[in-house]
Structure 1
Amino acid sequence: MPNVSAKICGLSTPDTIDSAIAGGASHIGFVFFPPSPRNVGFEQAAALANRVPAAVRRVGVFVDPDDALIDSAIAAASLDILQLHKTAPDRIAAIRARLAREVWGALAVKTSADLAQAGTLAGAADRILYDAKTPDTAALPGGMGLRFDWNLLRGFRHPAPWALSGGLDAANVAEAIARTGATLVDVSSGVETAPGVKDPARIAAFLRAARAR
């Protein structure tokens, strides 16, 4: 079975950065979206990014961002990857072409009909992030602890490299990997004690569980 990598998303404190790195996270996510309780300012992101070794990828998480926000975040946190939510495929492609950086496009999933849209991201993004679809009235596009039916991904022909997100935690990540075949998993609320409050012990437990599947 292929090795599984893990991204810990929405980190905002030095101790949680250190826990993620010590536990073997492959990616660290910084959220640049003010309505989110996980949002970080540019100075804060810069200080946190300085704790991340070169071998760990720095991911900036955005919701349909403009160029100015992206450029400022890249300059502050030396981002390797951009993760884009609620962003049209043509806009994703334009951002990727302008910056020549790896770009992930998030696809909100609830039914098989949602998965059918994966093809629209395949030519625009380097990786598709399958995430649970939030209610239309939700203030945030993710990080709410929701999950979708992982069986939807059984036998699905992925049109591009992909990662799994949505409602993952230490108790279910092994099952999620077994059901879907994911080789990259992404967690946020599943390692928190409250919205935006990451717990080093939960981060460590999640990373152990992902490796031990």
Structure 2
Amino acid sequence: MDRGADYSLSNTHRKWTAALCILLLCLALSAPNEPASAQHTNLAAGANPFDALGKLFGGGQPEFLPADEAFKLNVTTRNASSLLASWQIAQGYYLYRDKLRFSLRGNGVRLGSAEFPAGEMEEDEYFGRVEIYTRELLEITLPLRRDTTAARTITLNVRYQGCAEAGICCPPIDKQVRLRVPAAAPNGDADATFSNPPGTHSRVIARHGLGRAALTAASRLARP
């Protein structure tokens, strides 16, 4: 994978410059003249982590997609016993396997072990040898463990982090997805497929954190 972006600054200089800019940005956001809740709302509504970080290096850098366009998440209910989380990953971007996190809120429904496909191994400057996903479509099956056969509404919490091959990484992204899980068959056969009724959609709420995550992003800005 080509990481050879031609920057005018040296790697070391870029790292320290980026880290300093991120720290100054965090200090500005925490100024007392604006309530914390308002700051969070403004960032979540319009901030593009890739653009915010990419602009630190000036106009010579490539354009970056908003995180939700670079990594398009969709979660569906496959059947009464499993969910399917999928990402459409834009060309030139990738997700870290070990940064993918799933948790579930739902009475009588628990998550089993996620079924991850094999990714690509690479040597990362900061994280060592890591597994990444660069494929156009990434699909992960999430088995469900049920204590009841009744239909349930559940909330799936998803966390993921990705980077552009040009050398910029977004902070970790958290999403909440509300889904309706159908009733399981009385005989325990929960393999019948299920889809939401026409006109209904999963409810997704995205939160882009810029506090501690921004400091992590600063350390990932410069890649060899």
TM-score (norm 2): 0.25
Which one has the bigger helix percentage? 1
Higher CA-based Rg: 2
Larger relative strand fraction: 2
Structure with more relative contact order (C-alpha pairs < 8 Å, separation 6 or more): 2
